[in-house]
């Protein structure tokens, strides 16, 4: 006989229901406070996305710096010049990929607050109309 207990704190539906209940209570108590809290959380989320991206880029920069040094060494030696050129091309492509990644994350982070504001406004309007 297997006895397993389910941790309700790790159940996404349970957590979502608790968050929604707390949100509804907060809106009813003070709608402006709720909107401010959501805006604050959205901005914090965006800031964390950018900080994670910065950390990832720093780590990538360190790796690519080592790879660049090795590629430069290969490119300057007669026997391995072709390997060096190929390595330098690969590093250039990696840098371009990182630039694209940074742009995408920055764009996503900048839209987070807008999306949260739109959802908050919609939820507040629904709550206000259902409470009237």
Of 20, 26, 19, 27, residue with least CA distance to 125: 27
Place of tokens 């999306």: 115
Say if residues 87 and 74 touch (Cβ distance below 8 Å). Answer: yes
Phi, psi of 5 (to 5 degrees): -110, 140
Of 87, 45, 15, residue with least CA distance to 23: 15
- Which tokens is 14 given? 């349970």
- What does the pLDDT look like over 20-48, one tens digit per residue? 787 777 777 777 777 777 778 888 888 99
- What does the pLDDT look like over 37-83, one tens digit per residue? 777 888 888 899 999 999 999 999 999 999 999 999 999 999 999 99
State whether residue 77 is helix, strand or coil. coil
**How far is it, in rounded angstroms, from Cα 8 to Cα 104?**
35
Read off the pTM.
0.61
**How far is it, in rounded angstroms, from Cα 132 to Cα 118?**
21
């Amino acid at each position: 006989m297997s006895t397993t207990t389910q941790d309700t704190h790790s159940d996404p539906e349970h957590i979502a229901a608790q968050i929604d209940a707390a949100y509804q209570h907060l809106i009813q108590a003070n709608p402006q406070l709720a909107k401010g809290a959501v805006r604050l959380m959205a901005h914090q989320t965006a800031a964390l996305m950018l900080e994670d991206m910065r950390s990832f880029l720093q780590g990538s920069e360190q790796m690519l710096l080592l790879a660049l040094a090795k590629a430069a060494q290969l490119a300057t030696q007669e026997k391995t010049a072709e390997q060096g050129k190929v390595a330098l091309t690969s590093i250039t492509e990696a840098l371009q990929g990182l630039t694209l990644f940074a742009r995408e994350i920055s764009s996503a982070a900048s839209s987070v607050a807008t999306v949260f504001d739109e959802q908050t406004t919609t939820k507040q309007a629904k709550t206000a109309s259902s409470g009237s």
